[in-house]
Every structure is written in structure tokens, then in C-alpha cells.
């Protein structure tokens, strides 16, 4: 549970955990969370808590798990008044919420490495693997039912030459034959109970069941044995298909099938690999030692043949635990497929940087682990510009502020800059996900620099207003882009925005200038206006255009991606066209409008990087961009009408032209945006309209 929405209570509000019960029993306390809380406030509990901190023998799954450890540290280091105030704040909740740490038998090491999956997570995933029923059915057929069918065919082969009119059972079905038949029928019942996967050999119309039925009829003493003719026909078919009993042809076939059966299943191999992995909540700096073929010791322990190679799927699962020094290394290793996946790694960057701001190493590790737990909470977008509780607002985190080192906060900004540069370099055509924006703001906030990055707003709960950070972002963008291709293409007016913001009366200063600018542009827009999600989306996208959705912050904060702006513009263009190709191939697929929106966002980012490159790098970059546009359009086989409208619109603006109120030029050019209250013109191009 990442929040209390499903349970109706706080995530930390639950019955006593097993480790809590063991801790209470160890110290002879009553089974009560309040008793545990009181124990940690007493001298014995304080000593125990400090021992856990020094030995790193604790785990923080929820932020609350760190509260009593923090309180103990404060008291031990002389912050008595702060610790007492914290205890008073926590006491009313002591019976409901868990504030005690998870105690470990061994120290939990901390790495300054980044990883997508911990060794423990990978170990559990490999251990949970189960063989697929279809695979087990195949192994059952080859290893059980085909050999059994061979023995039954051999039994009937001994009676070949019998005619339907011949009723001398003692001649053709002598006692030894009947004994063997009874043994096979008994064996069948045992096999059927032990091997349930393969249903084919239970079908009455299949050869095995025909032979079994005829065998039962004969043993029952029926002189007519009506299934005899069917059984002999089934036997002849099997012999023609596979060879006579004991023949070289049949023996070779069964030997090859047995080789397949003896090969271990992927689930068994995965279990071998799982046993190699440590039960660690950290990643694996070295992966290759865990990917070697099965060793002799493992063969003796599991029965899996020595030198068996690991399946590709198992290798891929293990590689997901690879730990590197930077997120970029994981991107290069192919372990971070999207900006959202990169955002998941961000807390692993933020947490140790927060820890380094502490004057005491033990407190630093505790704060680092607390933040990792805090970052797992469910992120929400709230009404009326409200926000969720922030990390430094947690009482036990706030109490540590006097123990923080202000001079160490530069590392927080450096980490934020590296993180945003990695995101832009790796995924230049994707807007920064909200999870990543949140982490960047945390790093800046902890460094005392405020929260300068803007989130992507939800159109379904948009209330028409923007927080002050959006106006600040527009000012940053305006300094960089005023008079640029970007400003002209999207019909922005940074100068007008700044004039209005500076001339507003003091009473209006609390309102958003961006909200005014968006509303003013919407009034001039000839697109059909309305209400609801689509209308909100149009207004939010307008705000994104003004703010550049954090891209202008690259220049403002001196963040330097590894790639040039020219290269980033072409990569973003390629991402946009790749999405358009998918829409073109499957225009009927549900979600096409969302895909168009993402393609438009990538297009917008491409134009941002292009505009900055025209100013900073080379005035001829526009011709190179246009040439690449046509090249990519041919590669992705985009419709000619779509490409023409995109290119003509861009060339028209480059020649100091403008779009009209509907986003058109006098020729065939169109402005490419994501949101619309009408049918999107891109979809019309895809359908040939």
C-alpha cells in the first residue's frame, strides 16, 4: 500500500508486525505499540536505538519508521528540548502508528550507486518463476506418454495377424500377454494421477485411449472385443508414423525427445541463479559472476546439469539489478527505457545527497534511508494549487535542521543539474515526468533555493490558475527566447507578458500573470471554445509553451547536457515522427489522441532546441533541421500531406510570417499542437481526409 486510499487509514496504521512482537518479547514488554514507543523513550531504549544507528542494523520502509531513531539521536547529541518537543508531537499517535525501526540481524550496507532493481527484488522474482503449463505439457508428452504409448503398441504388436473373426483368445492373447496388459493398465492409472498437464492423451479419440479401451475389453473376457479393429488401426498408424517397436528409427526419435526432456526447465535454472544472489536491498556492481553456467556444486545441490547455460530471460532479470555510479550508465546499458523509468532512479540520487548535508554520519545515513522511504509515497495532484506534505515538513526531519551543514548543500544542486542533463540527453523528446520534477524540486528545496521546476498539470482537475512558480518560469523563458523562432511559431509574446506582470496593481500581484496571458490568447483564438477536459488541456498546453516546461532552466541554471542543442533538436524530431508513424499504422487504436499529444510535445521540444541552437551555435542549423525533417519523413513513411503542412508552417514562420487564429498559414502550413477542442488535423492527415 502506497497510501491510505484503499484502507481508509494511514499506511503506518496497522496491527503489530512480527518484528515488533519479537522486540516486545525480547525486552519483556506488553504487546502494545504504546509500550514500544515508551521503551524507546527510556534509557534502555535510547541505548538500543543508538546501537542500531551505529551498526546500521535497521530498515526504514515508511518514513515513520525513522521517528524514534531520530529522537534518540537528538537526545544523545544534546538536543534535549528539540527531542522532547518531538516526543510530544508523536505521543498522541503512539498507539496507532509505528514509529519504531525495523530491526535487522545484520548491518544493511549503503551504496552510492544507482540501480533499477535490488538484488533481493531480483532474487524474489527468479524464485517466484513457475514453469508454464504448455511447456510442462510438452515435457510430459515427450517424457511420459510417448514412452508409455510405445510399450502399449509393443504389446499389441505381439498379436499382429489376428483377424476380427478369430476368437481364439488363448492363442492370440496368452496369459503372459494378459499379465503384461494388466500391468500397463495399472501403470496408466498411476501416471494419469501424477501427470495432469497433457490433456491430449486423455482424449477418447486419440490412439492411446483407443488402445487402452481395447485392452480393457479383452481382459474383461468379451469374445467380440468390439474395439479390436480400432486398436489395430491405431497401432498401424503409430507404427507407420514412428517405426516398428525396437526399430532404429523409433529408438533414434525417442532418444532425441528424451534429450529435450532431460534439459532443465527455465524455472529450475532460475532457482539456481536465485540461490546465487544475496538478500540485499542494494544493486549489484558486478553482474557477470552471477551469469556463469551451472557449476558442479550447483549440479550436486539441484540436479541441474553442469555447464547448463542461463536462458536469456533469466540473464535479463539479473542484469536489471546492475548498479552504476550514474543514471547515464544505466541508460547506456539499456536498463532505463523511458523518462519515467529514469525518474524512478531519482530518489537514489537525492537520498545520499540529503544524507551528506548532515554533520554526523549516522544521522546522514538515517536521513538518507528516511527519504528513500518517503519517496515511495503515492504522488498526487491536488485542487486549488495545494501540495502534499514535503520531506522537510515531517516533524522528525524538521527537528534535524540544526544538525545540517549549510556548506554541503552545493552537492544537492550539482546532483540536480546532472539529473536534468541526463534526462534531456537521454530523452530529449519527452517532457520531464512529474516524479522527476518532484525530485529536482526537493534537491533545490533542500539546498535552500526554493522549488523552481514546474509540474505537468492534470487537465481533469485544472482550476484555471497557476502557482507563482509558473510565472517565474515564464520570466526565465522570456529572457532566453524573446524574438526567437520558438516564440514566433507558437504565437507567444514574452514582452507583453512582462509588461503586464510589471504594470499590475499591488492587489493583483497575488494572481497569476500566466493565467491572464493564457486567457487573453484563448480569446483571440478562433478554435471552438468550450469547457471540460479538452478546454483545460488547451489552456495547460499554452502555459507549457510559455514556460517551455523546464527546458529554459537549462540555460538559466547553467546546466549543460552532453549533446549539443542541434543534436537534441534532431533527436526530439525523430521521437515525434516515430510516434506519428505508429499512429499512421494504427489510426483506429484507442489512445490515438494521447499519442498525437506526445508527438506534439516532442515537436515542441525539437523547436526549443532548434531555436536555442540558432542563437548559440550556427545560423545555418535551420536548413539542416529542415533537411533532416524530410529525411526522417521518408524513413518513417509519413503521409505527404502531413509532412507538407508541418514543413510549410515552419518555413513560413522562419520567413517572419505568422499563423492565423486557427493555427494556419496562407498556404498549406499548420501549427502542430497537442490539445484541441475539435478533431485533430493530424488524424485527418492519417485518414487521408
Tell me which of 211-215, 336-340, 617-621 is least confident.
617-621
In angstroms, the CA 136 to CA 142 distance is 10
Q: Print the SS3 string covering 265-312.
A: CHHHHHHHHHHHCCCCCCCECCCHHHCCCCCHHHHHHHCCCCCCCCCH
Which single residue is written with the C-alpha cell 499512421? 584
Q: What confidence tens digit (pLDDT) does each residue in 547-559 have?
A: 999 999 999 999 9
- DSSP for 614-663 reads HHHT-TTHHHHHHHHHHHHHHHTT--HHHHHHHHHHHHHHHTT----TTS
pLDDT attached to residue 10 = 67
Burial of 166 (0-12, 13-18, 19+ CB in 10 A): exposed
Q: Print the SS3 string covering 231-245.
A: HHHHHHHHHHHHCCC
State CA 204 to chain mean position distance. 47
| pLDDT band per the 50, 70, 90 thresholds, residue 402 | confident
Number of C-alpha atoms within 13 angstroms, CB side, residue 13?
11
Question: Would you tell me how many other CB atoms lie within 10 Å of the CB of residue 530?
Answer: 12
Q: Hey, which residues does 284 pair with through a beta bridge?
A: 322
pTM of the model: 0.78
pLDDT at 32 over 60: yes
pLDDT at 171 over 60: no
In angstroms, the CA 661 to CA 491 distance is 10
**Mean pLDDT confidence for 94-122:** 87
Burial of 582 (0-12, 13-18, 19+ CB in 10 A): middle
**Mean pLDDT confidence for 283-309:** 89
Q: What confidence tens digit (pLDDT) does each residue in 506-550 have?
A: 545 557 899 889 888 888 777 777 778 999 999 999 999 999 999
Q: Between 134 and 275, name the one with better pLDDT.
A: 275
pLDDT at 120 over 60: yes
* Torsion, Cα of 398, 404, 407, 409 (10° steps): -50
In angstroms, the CA 304 to CA 301 distance is 8
| pLDDT band per the 50, 70, 90 thresholds, residue 464 | confident
In angstroms, the CA 103 to CA 18 distance is 11
Contacts for 235-241: CB closer than 8 Å, 24+ residues apart: 235/153, 235/156, 235/157, 235/160, 235/207, 235/211, 237/207, 238/149, 238/153, 238/207, 239/153, 239/157
Q: Print the SS3 string covering 38-80.
A: HHHHCHHHHHHHHHHHHHCCEECCCHHHHHHHHHHHHHHCCCH
pLDDT attached to residue 225 = 61
Any idea what the Cα angle at residue 341 is, between residues 338 and 346, rounded to 5°?
125
Q: Which three cell numbers stand for residue 269?
A: 535454472
| pLDDT band per the 50, 70, 90 thresholds, residue 387 | low
pLDDT attached to residue 161 = 66
CA-based end-to-end distance of the chain? 48
Question: Would you tell me how many other CB atoms lie within 10 Å of the CB of residue 176?
Answer: 9
pLDDT at 61 over 80: yes
| pLDDT band per the 50, 70, 90 thresholds, residue 214 | confident
Q: Between 355 and 615, name the one with better pLDDT.
A: 355
Which candidate, 264, 148, 242, 145, places its Cα nearest to that of 198? 145
In angstroms, the CA 624 to CA 425 distance is 20
**Mean pLDDT confidence for 2-22:** 69
pLDDT at 108 over 80: no
In angstroms, the CA 382 to CA 85 distance is 30
Which candidate, 127, 98, 113, 107, places its Cα nearest to that of 21? 98
**Mean pLDDT confidence for 372-397:** 73
Which candidate, 590, 611, 594, 603, places its Cα nearest to that of 642? 603
Q: What confidence tens digit (pLDDT) does each residue in 247-270 have?
A: 999 889 888 888 777 667 788 888
In angstroms, the CA 260 to CA 620 distance is 63
Which candidate, 433, 465, 470, 466, places its Cα nearest to that of 451? 470
Q: Between 179 and 260, name the one with better pLDDT.
A: 179
**Going by C-beta distance under 8 Å and a sequence separation of 6 or more, which residues neighbour residue 422?**
326, 327, 328, 331, 342
pLDDT at 3 over 60: no
Any idea what the Cα angle at residue 397 is, between residues 392 and 401, rounded to 5°?
85
In angstroms, the CA 603 to CA 669 distance is 15
Burial of 40 (0-12, 13-18, 19+ CB in 10 A): buried
Q: Between 367 and 6, name the one with better pLDDT.
A: 367
pLDDT, the chain, mean: 87
In angstroms, the CA 252 to CA 283 distance is 47
pLDDT attached to residue 64 = 93
Which candidate, 345, 569, 559, places its Cα nearest to that of 453? 559
pLDDT attached to residue 319 = 94
Q: How many helices (H) and strands (E) does the chain have?
A: 33, 2
Q: Which three cell numbers stand for residue 154?
A: 509393443
Q: Between 151 and 166, name the one with better pLDDT.
A: 151
**Mean pLDDT confidence for 650-677:** 89
Domain ranges, ordered by start, for the chain: 18-110, 125-131+265-319, 133-262, 454-560, 562-687
Amino acid at each position: 500500500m502506497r497510501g491510505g486510499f484503499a484502507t481508509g487509514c494511514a499506511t503506518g496504521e496497522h496491527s503489530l508486525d512480527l518484528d515488533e512482537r519479537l522486540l516486545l518479547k525480547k525486552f519483556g514488554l506488553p504487546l502494545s505499540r504504546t509500550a514500544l514507543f515508551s521503551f524507546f523513550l527510556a534509557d534502555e531504549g535510547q541505548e538500543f536505538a543508538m546501537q542500531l544507528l551505529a551498526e546500521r542494523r535497521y530498515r526504514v520502509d515508511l518514513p515513520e519508521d525513522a521517528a524514534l531513531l531520530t529522537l534518540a539521536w537528538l537526545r544523545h547529541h544534546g538536543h534535549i528540548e528539540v527531542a522532547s518537543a518531538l516526543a510530544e508531537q508523536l505521543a498522541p499517535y503512539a498507539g496507532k502508528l509505528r514509529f519504531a525501526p525495523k530491526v535487522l540481524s545484520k548491518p544493511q550496507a549503503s551504496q552510492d550507486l544507482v540501480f533499477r532493481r535490488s538484488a533481493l527484488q531480483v532474487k524474489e522474482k527468479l524464485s517466484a518463476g513457475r514453469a508454464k503449463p504448455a511447456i510442462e505439457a510438452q515435457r510430459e508428452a515427450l517424457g511420459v506418454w510417448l514412452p508409455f504409448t510405445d510399450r502399449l503398441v509393443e504389446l499389441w504388436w505381439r498379436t499382429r495377424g489376428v483377424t476380427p473373426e478369430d476368437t481364439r483368445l488363448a492363442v492370440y492373447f496368452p496369459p503372459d500377454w494378459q499379465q503384461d496388459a494388466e500391468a500397463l493398465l495399472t501403470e496408466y492409472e498411476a501416471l494419469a494421477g501424477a501427470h495432469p498437464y497433457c490433456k491430449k492423451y486423455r482424449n477418447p479419440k486419440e490412439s492411446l485411449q483407443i488402445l487402452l479401451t481395447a485392452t480393457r475389453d479383452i481382459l474383461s473376457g468379451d469374445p467380440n472385443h468390439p474395439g479390436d479393429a480400432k486398436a489395430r488401426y491405431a497401432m498401424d498408424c503409430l507404427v507407420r508414423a514412428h517405426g516398428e517397436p525396437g526399430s532404429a528409427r523409433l529408438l533414434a526419435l525417442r532418444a532425441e525427445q528424451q534429450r529435450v526432456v532431460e534439459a532443465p526447465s527455465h524455472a529450475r535454472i532460475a532457482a539456481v541463479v536465485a540461490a546465487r544472489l544475496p538478500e540485499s536491498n542494494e544493486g549489484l556492481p558486478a553482474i557477470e559472476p552471477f551469469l556463469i553456467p551451472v557449476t558442479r556444486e550447483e549440479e550436486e545441490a539441484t540436479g541441474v546439469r553442469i555447464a547448463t547455460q542461463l536462458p536469456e530471460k533469466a540473464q535479463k532479470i539479473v542484469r536489471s539489478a546492475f548498479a552504476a555510479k550514474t543514471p547515464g550508465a544505466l541508460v547506456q546499458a539499456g536498463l532505463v527505457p523511458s523518462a519515467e523509468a529514469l525518474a524512478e532512479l531519482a530518489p537514489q540520487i537525492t537520498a545520499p545527497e540529503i544524507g551528506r548535508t548532515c554533520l554526523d554520519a549516522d544521522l546522514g545515513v538515517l536521513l538518507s534511508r528516511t527519504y528513500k522511504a518517503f519517496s515511495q509515497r503515492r504522488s498526487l495532484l491536488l485542487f486549488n494549487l495545494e501540495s502534499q506534505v514535503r520531506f522537510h515538513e515531517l516533524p522528525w526531519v524538521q527537528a534535524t535542521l540544526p544538525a545540517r551543514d549549510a556548506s554541503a548543500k552545493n552537492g544537492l544542486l550539482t546532483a540536480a543539474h546532472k539529473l536534468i542533463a541526463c534526462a534531456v540527453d537521454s530523452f530529449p523528446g519527452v517532457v520531464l515526468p512529474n516524479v522527476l520534477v518532484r525530485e529536482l524540486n526537493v534537491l533545490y528545496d533542500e539546498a535552500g533555493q526554493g522549488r523552481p521546476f514546474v509540474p505537468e498539470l492534470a487537465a481533469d482537475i485544472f482550476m484555471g490558475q497557476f502557482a507563482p512558480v509558473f510565472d517565474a518560469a515564464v520570466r526565465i523563458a522570456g529572457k532566453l527566447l524573446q524574438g526567437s523562432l520558438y516564440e514566433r511559431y507558437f504565437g507567444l509574446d514574452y514582452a507583453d507578458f512582462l509588461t503586464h506582470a510589471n504594470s499590475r496593481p499591488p492587489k493583483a500581484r497575488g494572481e497569476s500573470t500566466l493565467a491572464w496571458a493564457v486567457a487573453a490568447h484563448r480569446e483571440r483564438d478562433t478554435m471552438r471554445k468550450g469547457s471540460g477536459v479538452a478546454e483545460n488541456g488547451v489552456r495547460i498546453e499554452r502555459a507549457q509553451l510559455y514556460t517551455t516546461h523546464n527546458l529554459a532552466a537549462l540555460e538559466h541554471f547553467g546546466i549543460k547536457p552532453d549533446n549539443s542543442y542541434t543534436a537534441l533538436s534532431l533527436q526530439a524530431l525523430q521521437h515525434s515522427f516515430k510516434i506519428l508513424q505508429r499512429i499512421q499504422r494504427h489510426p483506429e487504436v484507442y489512445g490515438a489522441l494521447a499519442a498525437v499529444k506526445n508527438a506534439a510535445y516532442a515537436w515542441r521540444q525539437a523547436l526549443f532546441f532548434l531555436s536555442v541552437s540558432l542563437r548559440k551555435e550556427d545560423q545555418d542549423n535551420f536548413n539542416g533541421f529542415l533537411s533532416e525533417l524530410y529525411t526522417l519523413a521518408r524513413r518513417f513513411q509519413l503521409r505527404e500531406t502531413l509532412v507538407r503542412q508541418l514543413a510549410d508552417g515552419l518555413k513560413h514562420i522562419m520567413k517572419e510570417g505568422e499563423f492565423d487564429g486557427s493555427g494556419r498559414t496562407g498556404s498549406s502550413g499548420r501549427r502542430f499542437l497537442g490539445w484541441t477542442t475539435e478533431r485533430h488535423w493530424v488524424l485527418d492527415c492519417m485518414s487521408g481526409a
